[in-house]
Each structure stands twice: as structure tokens, then as C-alpha cells.
Structure 1
């Protein structure tokens, strides 16, 4: 993935990860590449539909690397943050939107929104399963 000087390219992909339950559950995320100027704000929307209370994750995959955990949240209103990115678990709107107020060229990557089942007690393993 190449970015022009002064621009950031992010690729948005949905990834549904569920440990234990799968029927009727989904993650919805805008898909496709987006290019924005450096120092602009970035918001990647992610909504989910489940019949249970999930753990929510954002993964990032930089060019030439494998996916890695960016941040996660375990419960409603919890805010995950890392490397200037943050996302707040909102069970009322069933969303976990990723935000960064000022992006840099080094943020050019593929971003994945994911969820896992906390009921099984195995959600911790989801961090390495993409």
C-alpha cells in the first residue's frame, strides 16, 4: 500500500470473529480504501449486532506485516486507546467507532473491527486469532 507524501491511505474491512456463538451475529464496517491528508481526523465506523454482550476489538495490519491488536473494550462505556487511536464501547448504539484526531502517513494500514464472545471465557485468545 503506497501513500502519496502528505496523505494517509487506510483500507477498511469488516472481520467477524466469534468464539462460541455465530448465528445472527455480525459486524458492519464501511469497506474500501480511503485517502485523507495528514493531520486530518479519521473516524472508521463499526457497528455490531449480537444477542449477547461481546468483547470488541480493533486490529491493524501495516504493509508487509500481519494483523496486530490495536485496542479492545470489554464492557459498555469502556474506552480503548493506543497510539493516538481510541474507540468507546457503546452498547446503546451497538457501535465501536475508531477515531484519531490527527493521522500521520505511518497510519496507512488495513483496519479490522472484530468481536468475540465473552461468555465462553476464551475472549483473551481472540487477540491473536485474525
Structure 2
């Protein structure tokens, strides 16, 4: 079956802290990996999207590198802000 495993998604960041959220997946089909973010009192929104080929994607200072050999799509931000405090979700999609 298809599944996604991630570390705790609720993030509270001090200023200038680096952020790494780990996401690994098991998938029997090729599709897309996504990171969503939900800020307090806001709608869930897509942050990053990657096809299942090896690839690095960046958005708003975040980056995620998809490494197919270890089925990972870890989200990183080198210098976070308190405004990045939110809930982050890793997801697998066929669209």
C-alpha cells in the first residue's frame, strides 16, 4: 500500500532557527510528493510539490529534496522565522 511517514508536523520556531521536517514514503506508483502548510486560523495550502523523480524544489525560502533511493522528501529552511510556526503535512498524490 501507499503511505507517508513524517516527523511531528506542529512546528514552533524561534527566530533564525533552522527547520528540518522529515518525510519518507512508500509508493507503488509514480506520482507527486507535496508539503502542505497550515498557519494558525488559515486554510491549508500547498507549499512544495515534486514529481517522484530525483529533484529539489524551493518555495518561499523552503526547500525539499526528493531522493528516490531512500524514499525521502525532507523539508528544510535554513533561517526560519516565528511566522513560519504552523502545522506542516507531507502528502503523496497521483495528480
Given the two structures, how large is their TM-score scaled by the length of structure 2?
A: 0.91
In structure 2, relative to structure 1, the CA distance for the partners of 1:27 and 1:39 (3 Å cut) is same
* Pairwise CA RMSD: 1.3
Q: TM-score, normalised by structure 1?
A: 0.68
Higher relative contact order (CA 8 A, sep 6+): 2
Deviation at 1:75, TM superposition (A): 3.3
Unaligned runs of 5+ in 2: none
Cα distance between partner residues in 1 of 2:6 and 2:31: 16
| 1:38 match: secondary structure | coil
Partner residue of 1:112?
Answer: 89
| Greater radius of gyration (CA) | 1
Moved over 4 A (4+): none
Q: Which is strand-richer, 1 or 2?
A: 2
Structure 2 contact 13–81 (Cα < 8 Å) conserved? no
**Count of residues in Structure 1 that have an aligned counterpart in Structure 2:** 95
